[in-house]
Amino acid sequence: MDGKFLVFVNFSIVAKDVSTTLEQMGVGIPMVAGTEEEALALMADLADGASLRLAVVQLSPEAFLHSALRPQLEQRGAHVILLHDGVHISETPPPYAVLAVPFFTEDLEQMVTGFATRL
């Protein structure tokens, strides 16, 4: 496992499940944050120019578009999966994958498998 991935989920048990699942899938080494501030600090600790393979982020598409985290992830080339309850999603599909909460581990695995050729 040479890459890293970010899991920003505010429920620790969900964050643990997501990070363990992705690690077992061979996505890389997890960086786990419970807040956006923690996620930004983890991103700042990455070496200059280091890429990030994947980010699972618990924010609505609207909130993510305006977050300080989005440009950091885009700059590092991360594929993004947003975890969201599906309420108040605009009529225009977001430019990021959205996994509806609650979800099963198999749902996450299937979504990540869809990225597999690009990870």
Question: What CATH number is given to the structural domain containing 86?
Answer: 3.40.50.2300
Question: Domain span at residue 30?
Answer: 4-118
Mean pLDDT of 9-16: 94
* Integer CA distances (angstroms), 98 to 44, 84, 86, in order: 25, 7, 8
Number of domains in the chain: 1
Q: What is the pLDDT of residues 19-59, one digit of tens each?
A: 999 999 999 999 999 999 999 999 999 888 788 989 999 99
Distance CA 18, CA 80 (A): 14
pTM: 0.90
